[in-house]
Structure 1
Amino acid sequence: MQSGFRWSRIGLLVLVIGACYVAWQWPLLVRLYKVVTLYDEDKIVNNFLHMEDAFPTKVLQPSSNPQLLTPALAELPAQFEFDGHMLDTQAFLADSRTTGLIVLKDAQILYEHYWQGMSDDSTHMSFSLAKSFLSALIGIAVEEGAIGSIEEPVTRYAPELKGSGYDGVRIKDVLQMSSGVGFNEDYGDFFSDINRFSRTVALGQPFNEFATTLQREFEPGTYNQYVSIDTQVLGMVLVNATGKPLTEYLQEKIWQPAGMASQAYYLTDFTGMELALGGLNVTLRDYARFGLLYLHNGQRDGLQIVPSHWIHDSVTADAPHLQPGDNPASKHKYGYGYQWWLPDGRDDEYQGQGIYGQYIVIDPDKHIVIVKTSANHRYNDQSLRWQDKHQALFRAISQYYSE
């Protein structure tokens, strides 16, 4: 009898300890589940719209002087040409699992629509659109003297990178995705470096430590290979150079003066470091306001927020390995600037891009900004040529509204 009672108490104690452990680890378990199911067809939309449910965050507050966007609504072109065939615009938007699309001509909204439960006050995961925001902050920090020059090595500001593949690499080479660091960015490969990093994020481990594990593959400044961790390194440089967290610096230097109208947030690790390479969550209109800032050469109402020469340099391929088209010194057919993509065959347009269908497109000579957010679970199916189709759509929209 006593033996049975004793075992009952032990069993109860084990249950209590187990319940306490699960409660203690619950945030980690939620985060792991979120990462594992992030791109599942039945969960991807909710995940992209509610990343704050599973990750620690830092909040950006709306500007006290928001940039006014004036509705002047019109229809999209009904069709666009791709590879000699006409594609139905609305069918493509549905097929690519669009969540939001907005088109500005200067500060006028020509088109705005939401799908799949997204609305004008929803924040949407940026993925690599965040890289273009960080580029702007680097330009501001250089202009204000917090960073001496982009010719300096990243290790001057992030000495913890000494001995890694980033040791001695210029800030400029990191900005241009030419750090020379070896990295597999294939989201469809479970063992790729980017998916290893995703597991680092899921486990709550420090983002910055991952950068110290990477080693050199190419001579810096000679080969264009997209390495998302390059942008995390830029975040490390910026935080150490300015003495401010990325969220605080972004709030002060862009969010407030550029007139962002809604709350936004960065995902962080448990040290409070922001996911610089892709952790912004922003409304569709505020993504467009950022595009508008670049369209207007970094100015708002006469106030120079991002240096105009920085914007020019950011969208200029100034070395052979950065040129668009078939390029033996690049892994991509798009060219690259300072965290901005330069499409092949472009006039003057340039883009921020994020995986699973996120775009900020700026077409200066036509005064057009296009922002598209998506939750496309078929993004990794290369046979569907999503990027090429999007490029054809964006050029058709830009041309349509300029006629």
Structure 2
Amino acid sequence: MTKHKMTRWLAPAALALCLAEGAAAQSADERYSDLDNPMTPADMQGASVLDVERYRPTYAIKGCAADFPDPADPNAELAEALAKAQAFSDEHKGLGLLVLHGGVPVHESYGEGASTASTSASASMMKSVIALLYGIAIHDGVIGSLDDPVGGYIAEWADDPRGAITLRQMLTMSSGLAPSDFMKIIFAPDIGAEAVKLEMVSEPGSEFSYNNAVTNLLTFALDRALAAKGKGGVLSYLESELWCPIGNGPARVWVDPGGKARGYAGMQATLRDWARIGELIRNRGRANGEQVVPASWIEAMATPSQANAQYGLHVWLGREYTPERAYSAGNPVKVPHSEPFAAQDIVYFDGFGGQRVYVLPSHELTVVRIGEVDLTYDDARIPNLLARAAD
């Protein structure tokens, strides 16, 4: 096990001071990088998940880095399970594995080229961050409710049948919208304008279909709602209402050439930052003695949706077993599940090819794993090894 000198969480007052100082020291324009040098198709070729500099442009999240908790040695049974989990991760191109038990780090290791300071291309794990922001925004009155029609927030659809799609249907990936064009969504100069072109192909709420552009539309809608309330936009809201209150450090968000957050992917953060987000869910929205996200929202996120019992509000769940987990009926990519999850209450973030945050509240476990894309990665293996040892 790789050990590191770690201390305690940053006090809430210090977090507030850090945020205020950061805002004064750095304007929004200065936080953008490479707006005139966006990612190209060539940049995608052969990219490692550690090659975050290829994902351009980006926006800098100042962060309010809290020190990480001191590690502890696991008991013999858990230590054996951790060794097996590490071996499995390594076999499937793993680059980092961090495990907290009861809020205490019991394992932290990194592969070649990675370290505690490394950020990675976490892919769709960003989607779950957008879901957390929606919970905060509803509590703040920025968003009315889950069942609001999206046309109330996206003016282009105000008088369009697509405007009747609810935020709930979008957050559960049952919008009824056509699959997005992967390359267009990545390389469009204005991804919001590109996303509103999606056509409706089925009855909203009737069919699960994982769709990057749907998360982009949710991000677009939240950005406009925040601006209308005089609260800046998604990027500043992410920093002030989620990232800093939980004590996360500096990070970057992949944006489009116009500076708008993509939402569906692109949070460049460390394993420890992702672990704090996982712990936020495990602790029902609390961090540093504060209720950062309403507990009722965490419960709602973890409730199986009508269209797919394996999916809640932009998070994956373990309530229903299938040997292969599908992103949609027409998507050929399937994620292997060798057995049912040992923890029925597992909530997890899925980043393409093996980027994961697993939260197992009943076993007091939070697990973060990153690695190069490997479509043979078995989603059940690591959480089940650890759940059985932590019983």
Same structural fold, with TM-score higher than 0.5 when normalized by the shorter chain: yes
Q: How many residues align?
A: 330
* Aligned-residue offset at 1:340: 0.5
Alignment of 1:195 with 2:179, yes or no, is no
Distance 2:55 2:363 in 1: 40
Partner of 1:354: 351
Partner of 1:233: 217
Give structure 2 stretches of 5+ with no counterpart.
1-33, 321-339
Return the match for 1:179 from 159, 175, 180.
Answer: 175
Q: SS in structure 2 opposite 1:125?
A: coil
* Aligned-residue offset at 1:228: 1.6
Partner of 1:327: none
Distance 2:86 2:236 in 1: 39
Checking the alignment, whether the CA contact within 8 Å between 1:68 and 1:107 is kept in structure 2 is no
Query: 1:298 is aligned with what amino acid?
Result: G
Alignment of 1:156 with 2:157, yes or no, is no
Checking the alignment, whether the CA contact within 8 Å between 1:139 and 1:310 is kept in structure 2 is yes
Q: Which has the larger radius of gyration?
A: 1
Partner of 1:399: 388
Partner of 2:243: 255
Checking the alignment, whether the CA contact within 8 Å between 1:127 and 1:280 is kept in structure 2 is yes
Return the match for 1:245 from 233, 242, 246.
Answer: 233
Checking the alignment, whether the CA contact within 8 Å between 1:291 and 1:362 is kept in structure 2 is yes
Checking the alignment, whether the CA contact within 8 Å between 2:103 and 2:364 is kept in structure 1 is no
TM-score (structure 2 length as normaliser): 0.79
Q: SS in structure 1 opposite 2:222?
A: helix
Query: 1:282 is aligned with what amino acid?
Result: A
Give structure 1 stretches of 5+ with no counterpart.
1-23, 81-86, 185-192, 324-334
Give deviations 1:229-248, integer Å, cap 9, x for gaps. Answer: 11111101111111122221
Partner of 1:59: 60
- Judged with a 3 Å threshold, the aligned counterparts in structure 2 of structure 1 residues 67 and 308 are, in CA distance, closer, same or farther, namely farther
Return the match for 1:31 from 20, 23, 40.
Answer: 40
Distance 1:146 1:62 in 2: 23
- Judged with a 3 Å threshold, the aligned counterparts in structure 2 of structure 1 residues 158 and 397 are, in CA distance, closer, same or farther, namely same
Checking the alignment, whether the CA contact within 8 Å between 2:177 and 2:201 is kept in structure 1 is yes
Q: SS in structure 1 opposite 2:68?
A: coil
Give deviations 1:59-118, integer Å, cap 9, x for gaps. Answer: 111316x163221144866579xxxxxx96444322211111100113210111001311
Checking the alignment, whether the CA contact within 8 Å between 2:150 and 2:163 is kept in structure 1 is yes
Give deviations 1:178-202, integer Å, cap 9, x for gaps. Answer: 1011216xxxxxxxx22342343xx
Query: 2:183 is aligned with what amino acid?
Result: N
Distance 2:372 2:292 in 1: 32
- Judged with a 3 Å threshold, the aligned counterparts in structure 2 of structure 1 residues 396 and 217 are, in CA distance, closer, same or farther, namely same
**Identity percentage over the alignment?**
26
TM-score (structure 1 length as normaliser): 0.76
Query: 1:178 is aligned with what amino acid?
Result: S
Partner of 1:212: 196
Distance 2:42 2:110 in 1: 27
Partner of 2:259: 272
Q: SS in structure 2 opposite 1:322?
A: coil
Partner of 1:49: 50
Query: 2:242 is aligned with what amino acid?
Result: I
Partner of 2:95: 99
Return the match for 1:341 from 300, 316, 327.
Answer: 316
* Aligned-residue offset at 1:396: 1.0
